[in-house]
A and B are shown apart, each in its own frame.
Chain A
Amino acid sequence: MSRILGIELRRSAALGAVLTLLVAGAGLLYAAPERWSAGWMPLVMTQREYLVLLWPLALAAGAWQSRREHRSNVAELFVSTARPRAQRMVPTLGAMSIGVVSAYLAVLAVAAPWIFDTAGYLPAAAFAVAAVGGLALVAAVWFGLAVGRLVPSLVTAPALAVAGIGLLMVTPVADGSREWVSLVFSPMYGMGQYTDFQTVYGRVSVAQAIWLTALAATGAVLLASGSWRIRVAALLPAVLGATLAIMVVPRDDKFVVHPIDPVAQEQVCAEGSPRVCVSRIHSGLLSEVTPLAREALAILAKLPDPPTTAHEDTTTYYPDTAPPRQADVVLIPVGVDKSGHLAHKATVLSEMLRMVGANTHGCDAGGDTPVSRAATSWLTGREPVTDDPEEPAELNAEAVTLWRGLQGLPAKEAAARVAAVRRAALDCAELTGLLSRSAR
């Protein structure tokens, strides 16, 4: 058996499928590394999203392989051999699935070195997401084999691929905002990431695995069967699998629309003091963030009662969550660039010190820009400048005036006024005028 499998691996479309899927998968990943450079979970999810191309190609590979007997004019000869058809099909099924799975893993292996140094957090969900991706390809190639056998025409393979990509593209539109339907039947749905903390919950992966296994089973039975009765019966696994998957898949928005991994958001802290922490998924960037964050804390130390800790800003917009407003914590904006390192290094410090290092998430007003800018400038000792070319000029002029006023004050009084601005910002209170009157 293993000898036949070896022959089949060499002589079937498996090799061509490996090569095609590998080139397409790796090419798509490296065409936009910023989409997955943040960690392992973003990588496996992005790879799943690119099933939009790989899945139809796997369908086509199966259909093409299945035409071989028809192409070689040996159907009658094989029917005359006293062996069950199923026995002859097992090596083909095996060779094709080994091909697509190894291609899927090879794409991961090609992408892994890019983020190996910087990606730290590897949750179990990442393995599940990758496994379902491999399973999706197996299901596609087996189903393709079945269709290619039932309709042994030259057009079958391209038509099946077009139908596949059409299905993947149409499902999210056609589900009538019942996103869980798309989540079950489209192996690429929900893999686009709004934030690095996004995840796929275990039950969703289980539901997807059930459906894909059922689809693969239907394909295998259709391929191996000789009679129409068995072919009709082959629909049974697909129907059962679809029903079971729909029963298993969670429907709550928390799991379907905006799945966030709280463990990825947990803060991991650097050694030493003051405390600097980043989220677990960005823990590989801790050594890059720490010096910048400590510099910001050192600047803020000029204030009475200064903040002592810096945490990563784990704000997400979908769902709308933000870290709580705490007086002793300064938030660090952490972005990941396309090589997996800290993005926007030059602006991290100024972003941390904006609003005098106060967390203003959830406040209605944007705060008084001249006041907060002048207060921050007093801390850094640099004249206020604008970073927005569209801003009206008088805004910055006012900030400069306020800043000059602060510099004319005794250091203790100025520090008290700036601290008052920070307190007010934390309370979402009005900042206007706080720098011009005495803090007491």
Chain B
Amino acid sequence: MRWLTLYLRSRRVPVALAATAGTVVLMWSLWTAFSETRDVGVPMVILTVLLCVAALTATLAGPDDALERTGSLPWPRRRAAHLLGALAVVVLLLLATLATGARFGPAGLVVRDAAGLLGLTALGATTVGAARSWFLPLAWTLVTLVLSLPETAWAQVLTWQIQAPGNVVAGLTAGLLATAGSLAYAVAGPARQAPAEATL
């Protein structure tokens, strides 16, 4: 228990959790205040998922990863658990809104997008470092929101975030990103940073 507390504190998880919850509350209030329908628009849901994932990105690296690695602990398991925990936070926060007046759904879309974007972020944290890993999920999602492509399978791969929850191609793409990201992050851990960038 003591280890967990120290770990969470070193990864600045409380701040990140507050930011995530704050994001959801903000988006929820915006929709409640300015819209008459109960079901939140899909672009808003996707942007909320994206922001939640971005808020949790900072926890993917610690203040001194090189030192952390020297601890003779089974890291892969813990890193995987970290990602699963992050996914659970995003999904649970958004699913909790389904019982309220502004519903961030459908659940399938939330789970798929959260998993895919988190995997993409983890992949980024492993390759270019957690500080830069927000960029690809952000850019890809924004492009998806503005681009209109014909309904081919490749287009569905490119715009997987906005496809209907039951879409197989989009589901596979998100699954692939989630698997690749969590495997890479669990095995390799966050990318080594220059000492000057140690503080996020």
Q: Which residues of A does B touch, CB under 8 Å? A: 20, 24, 27-28, 31-32, 50, 52-53, 56-57, 60, 64, 70-73, 153-155, 157-159, 161-162, 165-166, 169, 174
Of the residues A53, A154, A158, A174, contact of B143 by C-beta under 8 Å: A53
B200, CB-defined interface residue at 8 Å: yes
Residues of A within 8 A of B57 (CB): 154-155
Q: How far is the CB of B114 from chain A (nearest CB, A)?
A: 15
Residue with the greatest number of chain A CB neighbours at <10 A, chosen from B43, B47, B142: B142
Q: How far is the CB of A20 from chain B (nearest CB, A)?
A: 7
Q: Complex Cα distance A222/B77, Å?
A: 45
Residue with the greatest number of chain B CB neighbours at <10 A, chosen from A24, A52, A71, A154: A154
Q: Complex Cα distance A229/B55, Å?
A: 30
Of the residues B135, B143, B147, B196, contact of A72 by C-beta under 8 Å: B196
Known A-B contacts A71-B199, A169-B43; A155 and B142 likewise in contact (beta carbons under 8 Å): no
B50, CB-defined interface residue at 8 Å: yes
| Dominant secondary structure of chain B at its interface with chain A | helix
B42, CB-defined interface residue at 8 Å: no
Q: Name which residue of chain B comes closest to A23, CB basis.
A: B139
Contact with A along B167-199 (1 / 0, CB 8 A): 000000000000000000000000000001111
B50 touching A71 by the CB < 8 A rule? no
Of the residues A56, A154, A162, contact of B51 by C-beta under 8 Å: A162
Of the residues B34, B55, B131, B142, contact of A53 by C-beta under 8 Å: B142
Residue with the greatest number of chain B CB neighbours at <10 A, chosen from A73, A162, A174: A162
Q: Name which residue of chain B comes closest to A72, CB basis.
A: B196
Known A-B contacts A57-B139, A158-B138, A161-B138; A71 and B197 likewise in contact (beta carbons under 8 Å): yes
Known A-B contacts A53-B142, A154-B134, A158-B54; A72 and B47 likewise in contact (beta carbons under 8 Å): no
A154 touching B142 by the CB < 8 A rule? no
Q: Which residues of B does A touch, CB under 8 Å? A: 19, 23, 34, 43-44, 47, 50-51, 54-55, 57-58, 130-131, 134-135, 138-139, 142-143, 145-149, 196-200
6 contacts between A and B (CB under 8 A): A28-B146, A31-B149, A154-B54, A155-B134, A158-B50, A165-B142
A154 touching B47 by the CB < 8 A rule? no
Of the residues B47, B147, B199, contact of A166 by C-beta under 8 Å: B47
Q: Name which residue of chain A comes closest to B193, CB basis.
A: A71
Residues of B within 8 A of A27 (CB): 143
**With contacts defined as CB atoms under 8 Å apart, how many contacts are there between chain A and chain B in the complex?**
73
Q: Complex Cα distance A158/B141, Å?
A: 11
B139 touching A162 by the CB < 8 A rule? no
Q: Complex Cα distance A375/B145, Å?
A: 51
Q: Complex Cα distance A64/B55, Å?
A: 14
Q: Name which residue of chain A comes closest to B53, CB basis.
A: A158
Of the residues B54, B145, B198, contact of A155 by C-beta under 8 Å: B54
Residues of B within 8 A of A57 (CB): 139, 142
A24 touching B139 by the CB < 8 A rule? yes
Residues of A within 8 A of B147 (CB): 28, 31
Q: How far is the CB of A225 from chain B (nearest CB, A)?
A: 24
Q: How far is the CB of B155 from chain A (nearest CB, A)?
A: 10
A165 touching B139 by the CB < 8 A rule? no
B55 touching A56 by the CB < 8 A rule? no
B50 touching A162 by the CB < 8 A rule? yes
Q: Complex Cα distance A72/B193, Å?
A: 11
Q: Complex Cα distance A332/B145, Å?
A: 38
A158 touching B51 by the CB < 8 A rule? yes
Q: Complex Cα distance A27/B135, Å?
A: 18
Q: Complex Cα distance A71/B196, Å?
A: 7
Residues of B within 8 A of A157 (CB): 134-135, 138
Q: Name which residue of chain A comes closest to B59, CB basis.
A: A154
Residues of A within 8 A of B139 (CB): 20, 24, 57
A155 touching B19 by the CB < 8 A rule? yes
Q: Complex Cα distance A174/B44, Å?
A: 15
B50 touching A50 by the CB < 8 A rule? no
Residues of A within 8 A of B23 (CB): 159
Q: Name which residue of chain A comes closest to B16, CB basis.
A: A155
A56 touching B149 by the CB < 8 A rule? no
Q: How far is the CB of B180 from chain A (nearest CB, A)?
A: 21
Residues of B within 8 A of A169 (CB): 43
Q: Complex Cα distance A70/B139, Å?
A: 23
Q: How far is the CB of A150 from chain B (nearest CB, A)?
A: 16
Q: Complex Cα distance A69/B134, Å?
A: 19
Give me 16 other A-B pairs in contact (C-beta within 8 A), A28-B147, A154-B58, A159-B51 excluded.
Answer: A28-B143, A50-B146, A52-B146, A57-B139, A57-B142, A71-B199, A73-B199, A154-B54, A154-B134, A155-B55, A157-B138, A158-B50, A161-B142, A162-B50, A165-B145, A174-B34
Residues of A within 8 A of B145 (CB): 165
A71 touching B142 by the CB < 8 A rule? no
Residues of B within 8 A of A52 (CB): 146
Q: Name which residue of chain B comes closest to A168, CB basis.
A: B146
A165 touching B47 by the CB < 8 A rule? yes
